[in-house]
Amino acid sequence: MTTGQPGTGSARPTPTGDARIRPAIPAAAGTPTPAARTAATASGTTTAAAGTDHTVSGDGTRASIVTNDGTKAATARDDDPKPGSTKHDGPEPGSVGDSAAEDSAAEDSAATDSKAKPGAATGGAEKDGAVKERAGKDGAEKDSAAEGDPAESGDVAKGGKTGEPDGPVKADGEAKSAGSERWEAFASAPEPVPSRLSRSARAVGRYLIHEWTLASLGALALAVLMTWPTLRYPRYTLPQDYWDPSLQAWQMAWSGHILLTEPARLWQSNTFFPELWSFAFSDTLLGYAPAGMLGSGPEDAVLRYNIMFVLAHALATLGAYALARQLGAGRIGAAVAGVAYTYAPWLLAQAGHLHVLSNGGIPLALAMLARGHGWSLRHGYRPERRHDGWVYAGWLVAAWQLSLGFGIGLPFAYFLACAVLVAAVLFYARRLRTGQALPFGRRLLVADGVGGLLFAGVGLLMAIPYFKVTELHPYAERTIGDISIFSPPASGFVTAPAESRIWGGLHEGARAALPWHPEMTLLPGFVLYALAAGGLFFSVWRLRHRLLLLAGVLLTMAFAMGTRFFDGAFTYVPLFEHAPGWNALRTPGRLMLWTTLLLALLAAGAVTALTERVRDLAAQRIPSWPGPWLRLATLLPLLLVTVEGLNTTPHPVVPTQPAALRTVEGPLLVLPSNQSLDQHVMLWSTSGFPDVVNGGSGFTPRQLDDVRRVTQSFPDQTSVDYLRTLGVRTVVLLRGQVAGTPWEITIDAPVDTLGITRQEIDGAVVYRL
């Protein structure tokens, strides 16, 4: 199809209607820049409204508007077209459209698809018009004002006069301003730039709603509720009883105090005077030393203990949650694992043993190590997810867990050693079988090497004092007979302690049949048993992984039975005789910690499979009801394991520190002296930490036995002379504790002939030797 141009005497081809109709090109950022408009004007190009084609001569003297139906709406020209005129079909992005002397008929013709913006024209040479562009992904239309960029003053810019190619067109300033202001209201508003305060608030908000923030806060809130009323009177009461907790409160206070004042004397504590290495007579909770640096005196020591008691529960919940999530469990499944691991009924009997409850570092370290190595139970080894930073963090947490005590830390150390060995064997076995090695990386190898050395170094430094104690006190070593006393029977796995609110009363008869029920009631929870059993058949874990978890459960149960499982000949006894340090563990039942963790992982797999199935069913329902109710039902396992962990743990008031112990100087002896009362004396000694002969631990040194035996007749010449040879300078006899003891008669006896002084101080008699 051709269209003749007036005054040219020749015909020029014109594109067909299909060729002229082009889709609107969205503007990148609203109004074209002045530079772009100048360049477009110089080259003779134009921009038309959507659906309209413009043809403009190179010198800017002719413009035509062609509508979508192929008709020419208006043509404006000068006397004769200049040679070399250019015709453009369709809108060009960033160009400026010019039309002159358009009549009303042309406007009506093009009104459907485009609107011409009236502008000032001089000699019919130029016109500044508004451009209406179709922009945005949703097809919304945006109007922007297109302005000419004049190159020189005057009404008309002649082509070739200004040094610009083809001669730029200069528009009238006033008309340009008026046209621009009319259409600026339709331009898109610029996106506001947020202030620094707004950006900070958004960052804090994202942090607060992050999964791990919510998990940490949830674990802490649950710990406060499940251990209540621990924090009701945290300076005056202790959970379970006030014997072992008093000892452990002193341990934290001592480690913090001595590391600030005289670190070299850490293992030579102020108790059991004049014994050496006395801080290693029991598990030390050394990892809590930073907390021990805050506060002083017995009340602060009790407050510190109660805070760490609650935080230990929170960390255990968070650690097991993190491990389950890393292995591939969903959020609800991981929450079930965290709660079941922390609040298993058998742990309620250990409420007075903070070193047993402080086990959260175990699953947390395993989660960090697994994440650093890019491994999960559900997805296997993914090398692209490796991160050596998490490996360093995992080994640090493992070393910190070990520093809390060998009672829980030693089995953890052996587990890590076995896990490293098995992983290395499997890694190289795959290489031999396939001929291709899985990528591991030098950085990861260095991280494991450095982290493993750190862990081993902490273990060795912690073990040296215990080896010294064994040398000085060989009678402190355990025997197979000691292990037999604390080995639970199989019935212990279904028997709950008295502190269980749900099962405590119902299992009273079963507990009575156990020789030492505080260490033999090992019920991890009937709900946990049921969920783990379901996880063997319905789970997100692979079948071989479920079978491995089941094997781990049965194996750890056999070890937890000590000598009750075929006399321990195939389980506990070989470790006791050949594994370094294992003969110091006298309570096999505490290995139930590993059984509980494995059961919790089996349960997490089952609950995760359930929640995913419910989510799929809810998505398929149209309408979605009762989808929300189904999703709410997935919280039922979490609710059940929480309820089964409710307790009736008592919180007795701690005996008040005698006023005499706030002022006397050591070395001193407090009478009466026995295992229970000496643990109170250790707590009271946190006021200034004077050297005291008293002390309570897992074993009693023979020298302390001798002191207790000789001082039965105190005050007399024999006992006074003996105490002087030990270096004791003060004896405090507590009136409130002498009932039924030999001191009930001798407490008021005269001491003039013994060369000592006697003074009454607020319910106590102070003897200065």
| 281-318: pLDDT as tens digits | 999 999 999 999 999 999 999 999 999 999 999 999 99
Q: How far apart are CA 171 and CA 53, in angstroms?
A: 22
Contact 120, 175 (CB under 8 A): yes
- Point out the least confidently predicted range of 200-204, 275-279, 638-642, 686-690: 200-204
SS3 of residue 49 by DSSP: coil
Structure tokens at 259: 């590391």
Cα radius of gyration (the chain): 43
Structure tokens at 570: 């195939």
Considering only residues 345 and 70, tell me which one the structure prediction assigns the higher pLDDT.
Answer: 345
Structure tokens at 509: 């008869």
Contact 169, 100 (CB under 8 A): no
pLDDT score of 202 more than 90: no
What's the distance, CA 645 to chain centroid? 23
DSSP designation for 154 = S
Q: What is the pLDDT of residues 115-129, one digit of tens each?
A: 333 333 333 333 343
Q: What is the pLDDT of residues 152-179, one digit of tens each?
A: 333 433 344 444 444 444 445 555 555 5
Structure tokens at 494: 């279904």
What is the structure's pLDDT at 174? 54
pLDDT score of 50 more than 50: no
SS3 of residue 650 by DSSP: coil
Structure tokens at 246: 């008093």
What is the structure's pLDDT at 181? 65
pLDDT score of 515 more than 50: yes
pLDDT score of 33 more than 50: no
Output the DSSP codes for 630-648: HHHHTTHHHHHHHHHT-B-
- Point out the least confidently predicted range of 17-26, 368-377, 634-643: 17-26
Contact 239, 246 (CB under 8 A): no
pLDDT score of 142 more than 50: no
What is the structure's pLDDT at 690? 95
Other C-beta atoms closer than 10 Å to the C-beta of 428 total 12
Q: Which has the closest alpha carbon to 525: 638, 360, 651? A: 638
Average pLDDT over residues 433-454: 88
Contact 38, 151 (CB under 8 A): yes
SS3 of residue 72 by DSSP: strand
Contact 426, 375 (CB under 8 A): no
pLDDT score of 130 more than 50: no
- Point out the least confidently predicted range of 172-176, 429-433, 439-443, 488-492: 172-176
What is the structure's pLDDT at 644? 96
What's the distance, CA 599 to chain centroid? 22
pLDDT score of 52 more than 70: no
pLDDT score of 113 more than 60: no
Q: How far apart are CA 700 and CA 271, in angstroms?
A: 12
Considering only residues 747 and 361, tell me which one the structure prediction assigns the higher pLDDT.
Answer: 361
Write out 437-503 in H/E/C secondary structure: CCCCCHHHHHHHHHHHHHHHHHHHHHHHHHHHHHHHCHHHCCCHHHHHHHCCCHHHHHCCCCCECCC
DSSP designation for 352 = T
What is the structure's pLDDT at 35? 43
First to last CA, the chain: 128
Contact 465, 540 (CB under 8 A): no
What is the structure's pLDDT at 377? 94
Sheet holding 730-734, edge to edge: 668-671, 730-734, 764-768, 757-761
DSSP designation for 82 = P
Which distant-in-sequence residues (6+ apart) come within 8 Å of 471 by Cβ?
A: none
What is the structure's pLDDT at 505? 94
Q: What is the pLDDT of residues 624-648, one digit of tens each?
A: 666 677 778 889 999 999 999 999 9
SS3 of residue 407 by DSSP: helix
Q: Which has the closest alpha carbon to 603: 568, 632, 644, 571? A: 644
Structure tokens at 330: 């969903």
* Kind and range of the H or E run holding 177: helix 173-184
Spell out the long-range contacts of 545-548 with Cβ–Cβ below 8 A and sequence spacing 24 or more.
Answer: 545/377, 546/602, 546/605
Q: How far apart are CA 410 and CA 408, in angstroms?
A: 6
Q: How far apart are CA 250 and CA 690, in angstroms?
A: 13
Q: How far apart are CA 315 and CA 330, in angstroms?
A: 19
**What are the C-alpha distances in Å from 432 to residues 224, 257, 428, 442?**
52, 55, 6, 20
Residue type, 666: G
Contact 89, 42 (CB under 8 A): no
Average pLDDT over residues 260-278: 95
Other C-beta atoms closer than 10 Å to the C-beta of 462 total 21
Query: For the chain, what is the mean pLDDT?
Result: 80
Average pLDDT over residues 248-275: 95
How do strand 668-671 and strand 730-734 relate by DSSP bridges?
A: parallel
Structure tokens at 218: 């949830």
pTM: 0.75
What's the distance, CA 205 to chain centroid? 16
Phi, psi of 71 (to 5 degrees): -85, 150
What is the structure's pLDDT at 459? 95
